[in-house]
Amino acid sequence: MSQRHTVLRSLHDVGLAAWFGGSLMGAVGLNGAAKEQGADWRQSARIASAGWALWAPVGAVAIGTHLAGSGGLLGANAARVLTQQGVAASALAKTALTGAALAASVYGRVLGKKIELASSESPEDAEKAERLPVDTGQAERHLSYVQWAVPALTCGLIVLNALHGEQQRPAQQLYGMLRRARTLAPYVMSCHHRHTSH
């Protein structure tokens, strides 16, 4: 109960903070500025694409950092997941949300790359865009949904992280372990009864 995992927690929290903050800033600030400053669709798309392209490597590092910390903490807390009531459910919910946020981030990058190629003035990019034709209107609509989904999903992860923090209080750990023991007690007693009756 008293173990400390400062490095893992730091990786988990800093990575998640950058993932959430970067995606929210992009959806609100970058996309909004691109629409205001662009003279037409193509110019707005180029401004937004350039900003997201610059952020992409940092975002990838943030996601990787968070996943490293999250995986390490899950391994370090494996005993609590098994023995404390409620921890397994919140860990499963967190894993599902992380997967959804990761999928949305990757899908958003793929859509963004398609729009970047379609809006570029470079002959090389135009040639690539012709090889991968895309309905830019539909791609932009999907991208706008995805770019709002990422901060929403990562915000959910922050809330679940707060719940995990509460579950790690000594009183909560003891309460959860007692609840798990009470849940398993009838099963253990029936197994014991069957064993002694033979």
pLDDT tens sequence across 151-189? 999 999 999 988 877 766 555 445 445 555 566 455 545
Question: At 144, which helix (H) or strand (E)?
Answer: helix 136-167
Q: Is 15 exposed, middle or buried (0-12, 13-18, 19+ CB in 10 A)?
A: buried
Q: Which of 117, 170, 166, 172 is nearest to 139 (CA)?
A: 117
Both tokens of residue 12? 């988990």
Q: Read off the pLDDT of each residue in 7-27 and give the average, rounded to a whole number.
A: 96
pTM for the model: 0.77
Tell me how crowded residue 183 is: count the other CB atoms within 10 A of its CB.
10
- pLDDT score for 79: 79
* SS3 call for 39: coil
CA distances (Å), 90 to each of 121, 156, 164, 174, 179, in order?
48, 12, 7, 17, 16
Rg (CA), the chain: 23
pLDDT tens sequence across 108-153? 999 998 888 888 878 777 677 677 667 888 888 999 999 999 999 9
- pLDDT score for 179: 56
- pLDDT score for 150: 97
Task: Please indicate whether residue 197 or residue 163 has the higher confidence score (pLDDT).
Answer: 163
Q: How many residues does the chain have?
A: 198
Residue 32 scores a pLDDT above 90? yes
Residue 197 scores a pLDDT above 80? no
- pLDDT score for 81: 74
Go through 57-85 and write b for each residue having 16 or more CB atoms within 10 A of its CB, e for each that does not: eebeebbebbbebbebbeeebeebeeebb
